[in-house]
Amino acid sequence: MTNALTVLITGGADGIGRVTAQRFIDSGHRVHVCDVNQEAVAQLSNDGSGITGSVGDVSSVADVERVFAELEQTYGGLDVLVNNAGIAGPTAPAEAIGTEDWDRAISVSLSGQFYCLRRAIPMLRASEYGSIVNISSNAGLFGFPLRLPYAASKWALIGMTKTLAMELGPEGIRVNAICPGSVAGPRIDGVIERDAGARGVAPEAIRKAYERQSSLRCFVEAKDVAEMVYFLTSPLGAKISGQAIGVDGHTESLSNGLE
């Protein structure tokens, strides 16, 4: 990488976002994260990594405005937005999903990404290397039983990605989506527990079924996703835009055969 980029990663204090932040830092870039977890942001800002952070909930327009004001004050610009913050949402049949759960899932995983990219676009226009990576999911490529709001938000992100790639491409700004498969870690452990609870089966049966969903029979690691983010935003990805790229061992289906 020749030029040091300024990168904003939402939901960057933990999980995929944190690993991605480190990937950019390790290659000499500047990273600011936004995260709703105050403690995790404080820890990150003091851990010697050089990553800076703002506490903010992406589903709040006021928070997003403050995060970008702090970013501008700290770095004066932005080259890369990694729209990563997203929540799992409820695990339940569609008719049992409450309005509040629906609204919360959509407001974090879809509206939050919109609020951030809307605010980022003018800053990316001023960059020679502007690009956006939206973190969707393999649930954005398949139907996903019992996870309606999650799947709906992740499909919507791909529509947003393709539309924005067309709007911004003539100005040299690239927009891509990454669709991770199940990432090993505490978040997927929670998803497995809830899925097992909703179906009345043992968590181990769900874990095995999730592994069987991919041709490579695997979970992915956060670093697999981080490397793809890095590639897409680097000169190696200079001609890639409007894509929804699976990092998932090739998902064959999200129907887990337990019905």
The residues annotated with a catalytic role in the active site are 150
Q: How far is the CB of 60 from ligand NAD (least distance, A)?
A: 8
Comparing C-alpha atoms, which of 97, 84, 11 is closest to residue 53?
Answer: 11
DSSP assigned state of 107: I
- Min CB(132)–ligand NAD separation in Å: 14
CA distance 143 to 140: 8
**Closer to ligand NAD at the Cβ: 36 or 129?**
36
As a whole number of angstroms, the distance between CA 193 and CA 186 comes to 10
Of 57 and 129, nearer to ligand NAD (C-beta) is: 57
Question: CA 155, CA 161: separation in Å to the nearest integer?
Answer: 10
CA distances 124 to 164, 174, 175, Å, are 13, 10, 11
Helices and strands per DSSP (H, E), number in the chain: 9, 7
**What gap in Å lies between CA 59 and CA 255, rounded to an integer?**
30
Rounded distance between C-alpha atoms, residue 58 and residue 120, angstroms: 13
User: Which residue, 129 or 178, has its beta carbon nearer to ligand NAD?
Assistant: 178
CB of 3: closest distance to ligand NAD in angstroms?
27
Least distance (Å) between residue 183 CB and ligand NAD: 4
Closest CA to 135 of 194, 76, 187, 190: 187
Binding site for ligand NAD (CB under 6 A): 10-11, 13-17, 34-37, 40, 57-59, 84-87, 108, 112, 135, 137, 180, 182-183, 187-188
- CB nearer ligand NAD, residue 129 or residue 138: 138
